[in-house]
Amino acid sequence: MERLLGLLRVRVLRGVDLAVRDVCSSDPYVVLRMGKQKLKTRAIKKNLNPEWNEELTLSVEDPNLLVKLEVYDKDTFSFDDPMGKAEFDIRTLFEVVKMNLEGLPDGCVITKLMPNRQNCLAEESVIRLENGSVLQDMFLRLRKVECGEIELQLKWMNIPNGRSASLQDYL
């Protein structure tokens, strides 16, 4: 069994210009998957620009696994309709967490990731230091759908019992 490296808190902030799957709107929710883990947000009724602002926490044993995100339209009497999917890589975030960040000022941008054909980023994604935590902001462009983006914020959380090197060791 692999060892738990830390926790990834994914704050699902909002959706922008999501696809219509009902008569003139949708009831969207987000599903996150990493390895065997599956978490989901609540559905927001009749909204193509929903604001979830929900935190979902994944246990990270292998930072090389992609986090897969899917958006669905909640339906009562039939299967939920797919509204797009995306995926993101946490390797860069994990590498930053392992760096010596001592002495860096609050709000300091540590690195930036640019959108390209290999990722789902809709715009530049910034990894920064804030209140002793490493955060990454990202807008993901949904694939396999006519339109839509999801805004997320990632935060690395170390394990309190010391099974993982604590960020406090570096600060």
100-118, pLDDT tens digit by residue?
A: 898 899 999 999 999 999 9
Tell me, what's the pLDDT at 158?
Answer: 87
Tell me, what's the pLDDT at 88?
Answer: 98
Residues paired with residue 72 on neighbouring β-strands, in sequence order: 29, 82
Q: How far is CA 163 from CA 5, 47, 56, 82, 160, in A?
A: 7, 42, 21, 38, 8
Q: Distance (Å, rounded) from C-alpha 90 to C-alpha 102?
A: 22
- Say which CATH topology domain 6-169 has: Immunoglobulin-like (2.60.40)
Q: Split the chain (171 residues) into runs of 10 and give each run's mean pLDDT.
A: 89 98 95 98 98 98 97 95 98 94 92 96 97 96 97 92 44 32
Tell me, what's the pLDDT at 6?
Answer: 95
Q: Is the pTM of this model over 0.85?
A: yes
Q: Residue 85: which H helix or E strand, with range? A: strand 81-88
Tell me, what's the pLDDT at 1?
Answer: 59
Tell me, what's the pLDDT at 164?
Answer: 43
| Residue ranges of domains in the chain | 6-169
Tell me, what's the pLDDT at 168?
Answer: 41
